[in-house]
Copies of this chain bind each other. A is one copy, B any other.
């Protein structure tokens, strides 16, 4: 759908620049308030952009990169472009797109807000275009009357566009296709319940929330025709790290004869990484599992295992859909052919 944007009535813009280069500002959905309230953060100074990234008001690597680029413009308005850029880079240590976007802004060699705003808008538009291209390439996976299962939030809220795993859903929906989406709640941080269910519901897409342990049942009952998730990092043999629970789904899909797809931009591939065994898995705080949204639900001192990601081996992935095309079957040769 050329020209489609994320600002239509039912699809609130995750990230928006309001006003002109000289006095405009950054407006973000405050994702910490979802799904209880749709509130916007108007960031008029660099400190408020830094805090918005730090406290996860904006999250998802692409969305963080775009937000930081606009933050640089706000720094330039105040005559502090260079130090603002360096400061923004300290907001989150691991989001690669953050450093990439800031480096690109600095690389222009100017502190002129107008020139910098043009570049930030270009980064924004490229991200949205990447999402749109994934949507076009993956739209065939969404059948009329079909059922789709997804996990976590690789959605509009994680990008400056229509998301990655959600891109074919928005694209098919805009084309008038009718289908059902099942969203795993995605413990422990509940991105599926809080964010994916919310954004698909806002867009008028038929979405049903399930607990993660219900996926096998809905598959067995014939409700699911295809599973589509995003990815955080893909090794050159096609093994894909994504939110914990994704590997779970891939095994269940294989058992039930359901195709399992990953939708991700080519920037997600790490060709220096031979296989999934080489992708380090972050272990997170026990408190995330001991609570839900801060409310205790287990003995406070109980031992917890809390890996943030798991790795789905290439042989369980039917295809990987990128903005450049489809990798199918998922082999090292096919990955190199598509990504570089």
Contact = CB atoms under 8 A, between A and B. Distances in A.
A304 B187 contact: no
Nearest to A184: B213
B303 A216 contact: no
Interface string A97-138: 000000000000000000000000000000000000000000
B215 A289 contact: no
Contact of A302 (B201, B298, B299): B201
B198 A217 contact: no
B252 A296 contact: no
B289 A293 contact: no
A322 interface: no
Among A36, A292, A299, residue most surrounded by chain B Cβ atoms (within 10 Å): A299
A35 B299 contact: yes
A1 to B, nearest CB: 26
Contacts of A214: 244-245, 248, 305-307, 310
A13 to B, nearest CB: 19
Given A210-B305, A220-B247, A255-B254, A295 B295 contact: yes
A306 B290 CA distance: 22
Given A295-B295, A305-B210, A217 B194 contact: no
Contacts of A36: 296
A218 interface: yes
Contact of A252 (B194, B244, B251, B304): B251
- Give the size category of A's interface with B: 35 or more
Interface string A183-198: 0111110100110011
B310 A216 contact: yes
A24 to B, nearest CB: 31
Contacts of A244: 211, 213-214, 217
Q: Counting chain B CB atoms within 10 Å of each CB, which of A209, A247, A304 scores highest?
A: A209
10 contacts: A184-B213, A187-B213, A193-B289, A210-B305, A212-B213, A214-B248, A216-B247, A292-B293, A292-B297, A293-B295
Given A187-B212, A216-B248, A251-B255, 6 more contacts: A185-B187, A197-B298, A209-B303, A213-B245, A217-B247, A220-B310
Interface of A: 35-36, 151, 182, 184-188, 190, 193-194, 197-198, 201, 206-218, 220, 244-245, 247-248, 251-252, 254-255, 289-290, 292-293, 295-307, 310
